[in-house]
Structure 1
Amino acid sequence: MTHRRQAVRGLAAALAALVALTAAGCSSKAKTGDGKQTGAGGVKTGEGVTDKTISLGALTDMTGVYATLGKSVTQAQQLYVKQVNAAGGICGRQLELTVRDHGYDPQKALAAYTELEPKVVGYAQFIGSPFVAAVKPRVDGQDKALVLPQAWSASLLGSPYIRVLGATYDVETINAVDFLVKEKGLKSGDKLGHVYFEGDYGENALKGSKHAAGKAGLTVVEQKIKPTDNDMSAQVAALKQAGVKGIVISAGPRQAASLVGVAAATGLRVPVVGNNSAFAPQLLGTQAGPALEKMYWFASPSLPIGADTPTAKKLVADYRAAYPSDALDNGIVAGWTAASVFGEALKKACAEKDLTRAGVDKALLTMTSYDAGFGMTHDLGDPKAPSSRESVIIQPDKSVPGGMRTVRPPFVSDAAKTYTP
């Protein structure tokens, strides 16, 4: 794989140092044997599995830059666990979901991972591409626990245990740029702005925009920001001066709202498209709301929560009943999808009488056409590839359930078809 850079800078360097420390701290508990034992029903078990329970971990962001996403993902997964348990559980065992909030802080994320690792069979949630990438050597080398992250960096591909659900950020961005060219009037010779987070997420998305721009004859104007940067005034000014005809943003919801709001206020009225992590419908209630509805779109690895599918309709009704005071957003879709994928792998592993980590991962490899009910079919048979290359283009719209409507159904652009993540 060529995605990991030879030189690791900034946050990546800090994360690598922290991983080394946590690995050293865990060396005294190095695995001795495979930990397998035969439990109830003649099923092999290991970490996180007893005769009565199956324990999953959730490493989320409830207080940081992705707090809105983290809350929705977590509540959707708690709802899934509650419903599965009410129906009798899986393999005669009740599911348990242990949640830790890392607040998008690298030290807290790695500490939480280390704490939960011996207690869970795997992770149904791990928010933050840089953090997942940081623990990847441990996951692949000694822990071997299945991780279904809410992160889509191509650097996570290739691991037999960390499985990306949906298009990676580079592929997603290629599809997003195709939307700008095909439907928003960008043409060869135009300049395309790209505002992106430093680190794994943003730089992987930037790779995608450069690839798509090269195919379309566009020039990319880069603006790198930090997750703590919330005011996009300087970036808008720079892009306006450069004369960009469209903008891609690979950041968080707050940064997207600031970018679009400032651009509209200062006369930079060009189409803006974001990655799937760069929108939350709660933003429609802010001052930036009207501008978001007029000049913002984002790419998504699934149909929105308000989609016209049986799964979506049932999930909306169940989520509203469980959390009546909370808004609907696509974090619910991401959380439910990951939980249901993990649940299906557990069911298949149970059928093979092997609920060890190895058994669960082996079961996942057999899921080559899994439909979570949101417009995408996931192929989980190849760890080197994302489960799908399709994207959906969504526009904010406060008049529809969930504040989002589909303007371009699942598609793969020609540039994305031939691209190698």
Structure 2
Amino acid sequence: MKHTLRIAAASMAVVGLASLSACGTRASDSDSGSASGSGADSVKTDFGVTKDTITLGVLSDFSVVYGPLAKTVYAGNQIWADQVNKSGGICGRQIKLVAQDQKMDTQLANTEYASMKSNVLGIVQLLGSPVISSLLPQIEADHMPVMANGWSRGYLGTPEVAVAGTPYDLDEINGLQYLVGQGKLTSGDTIGQIYMAGDFGENAAAGAEYAASQLGLKYVGKKVASTATDISAEMAALKAAHVKAILVSTGPKQTAMVATQAPSLGLGELPVLVNAPSYDPSLLSSPAADEVMKNLLVVTSLRPFVGDTDVQKTVDSAFAGVAEGSSPTQHALIGYANGQVLGEAIKAACADGDLTRQSVTEHLRKLSGVDTEVTPTLDLTDPSKPASTQSLILKPSKEDGGLEQVKDFFASDLQQGYKP
């Protein structure tokens, strides 16, 4: 058995990838009206809440584009839930997680959401830009509070969907500013970008193209499918354009292709700047490892797995216990941070005596100055604005999680003129 994920405070375990699509316990006995519980004598509820349990959903891609990444996000969700439950839960109730594998298939995701929605108070992990976008109308109609694992600007304006970090376009602006500041790019240079079709890649491309125009750089972008297995034509086009840096906004498999093909095209010495979802530590044990270690940088609003904050230490120490056989990644931290944010909204809703979805969503949008320790300080009060605008720069490392910090949180002044 190479992979076991334990559902916190639940009676069954999720064992192996194949079983994820059918796993999870359901809170079919969810209370409606008022419920009683320790610390909450008369709390209004609707979905996913019983007298002793708050059930939260996880709808993720455990097996296709983001398998290893999603598993570590889920581990972070579980570590957060375990910590909460050990301290007495929220509103006198234990947190329970139920998980489904949507395989980055929007039709499957819609089916699984429909089967899950009556049994959960909210969703603590919803991963994948195409999936999130396809579910937005239902999420709004159901007043379902959701923590999105995708930093797309496309979710802004939806009160129910919160993103604990900085959108991809602002990451790209910050990242390109960093490359210019480090002397890796100068005015007149050409940059190339391999980006995924859909919200993630196209959002990142918009930010990169804007930053290039402001920094005196020429921009060449090449769009690929999320499942692309051959990007040789796109790489050849970047070579023909004489690019001086390559940006990657896809999945880790395409990042590996960029790294392995670059040397044979005479592009092996160029900086490669990628978004967080484009990197996985498994790249360091792949044929692309040497190139990745030498040239790759990650621009993101999430700290690396190993570090000095209490959250990093907590997740590090507990990771092996909830993700047996899996290698840690920084994405375990966003799983934990998502739990922190949604948990704060649930606590506030409980204090108001109303644990309905709409109440939790309203309290989610009252949160400001949220210090997760692993993201920039978050302000979620305006659904139309990003919760943060800062990014940091990481590089590959042999440390657990495969990354180490190069530059702490910062925001480029170029953002002030950006109009997405």
Shared fold, TM over 0.5: yes
Matched residue, 1:306: 306
1:184, 1:271 within 8 Å by CA — same for their partners in 2?
no
The one-character-per-residue Cα deviations of 1:6-42 (angstroms, maximum 9, x if unpaired) are xxxxxxxxxxxxxxxxxxxxxxxxxxxxx96111110
Matched residue, 1:37: 33
TM-superposed deviation, 1:56: 0.8
Are 2:412 and 1:416 equivalent residues in the alignment?
no
What TM-score do you get using the length of structure 2 for normalisation?
0.88
2:250, 2:277 within 8 Å by CA — same for their partners in 1?
yes
1:46, 1:356 within 8 Å by CA — same for their partners in 2?
yes
Which stretches of structure 1, 4 residues or longer, exceed 4 Å deviation after superposition? Answer: none
Matched residue, 1:178: 177
Matched residue, 2:193: 194
SS state at 1:378 partner: coil
SS state at 2:255 partner: helix
The one-character-per-residue Cα deviations of 1:356-380 (angstroms, maximum 9, x if unpaired) are 1111112212210111121521111
The one-character-per-residue Cα deviations of 1:148-185 (angstroms, maximum 9, x if unpaired) are 11011111101111112211111111111112211142
TM-superposed deviation, 1:404: 0.6
TM-superposed deviation, 1:256: 0.7
TM-superposed deviation, 1:307: 1.9
Matched residue, 1:24: none
Give me the CA root mean square deviation. 1.5
Matched residue, 1:5: none
- Aligned counterparts, 1:224-235, within 5 A: 224-235=223-234
- Determine what percentage of the aligned residue pairs are the same residue: 37
Matched residue, 1:20: none
1:144, 1:161 within 8 Å by CA — same for their partners in 2?
yes
Q: Which amino acid letter does the alignment assign opposite residue 203 of structure 2?
A: N
The one-character-per-residue Cα deviations of 1:224-259 (angstroms, maximum 9, x if unpaired) are 100111333222221111100111111011111110
Pick the structure with more strand per residue: 2
Aligned length: 385
Structure 2 gap ranges (5+): 1-30
SS state at 1:277 partner: helix
Matched residue, 1:63: 63
Measure, in 2, the Cα distance between the counterparts of 1:322 and 1:251: 28
Further displaced range: 91-100 or 35-44: 35-44
The one-character-per-residue Cα deviations of 1:329-377 (angstroms, maximum 9, x if unpaired) are 1110111111111112111111111111111112212210111121521
Structure 1 gap ranges (5+): 1-34
1:163, 1:386 within 8 Å by CA — same for their partners in 2?
no
2:165, 2:375 within 8 Å by CA — same for their partners in 1?
no
Further displaced range: 99-108 or 35-44: 35-44
- Aligned counterparts, 1:112-261, within 5 A: 112-140=112-140, 142-261=141-260
Pick the structure with more helix per residue: 1
Q: Which amino acid letter does the alignment assign opposite residue 34 of structure 2?
A: T
1:232, 1:262 within 8 Å by CA — same for their partners in 2?
no
What TM-score do you get using the length of structure 1 for normalisation?
0.88
Q: Which amino acid letter does the alignment assign opposite residue 75 of structure 2?
A: Q
2:55, 2:95 within 8 Å by CA — same for their partners in 1?
yes
1:395, 1:406 within 8 Å by CA — same for their partners in 2?
yes
Matched residue, 1:10: none
Measure, in 2, the Cα distance between the counterparts of 1:201 and 1:285: 26
TM-superposed deviation, 1:324: 4.8
Q: Which amino acid letter does the alignment assign opposite residue 270 of structure 2?
A: V
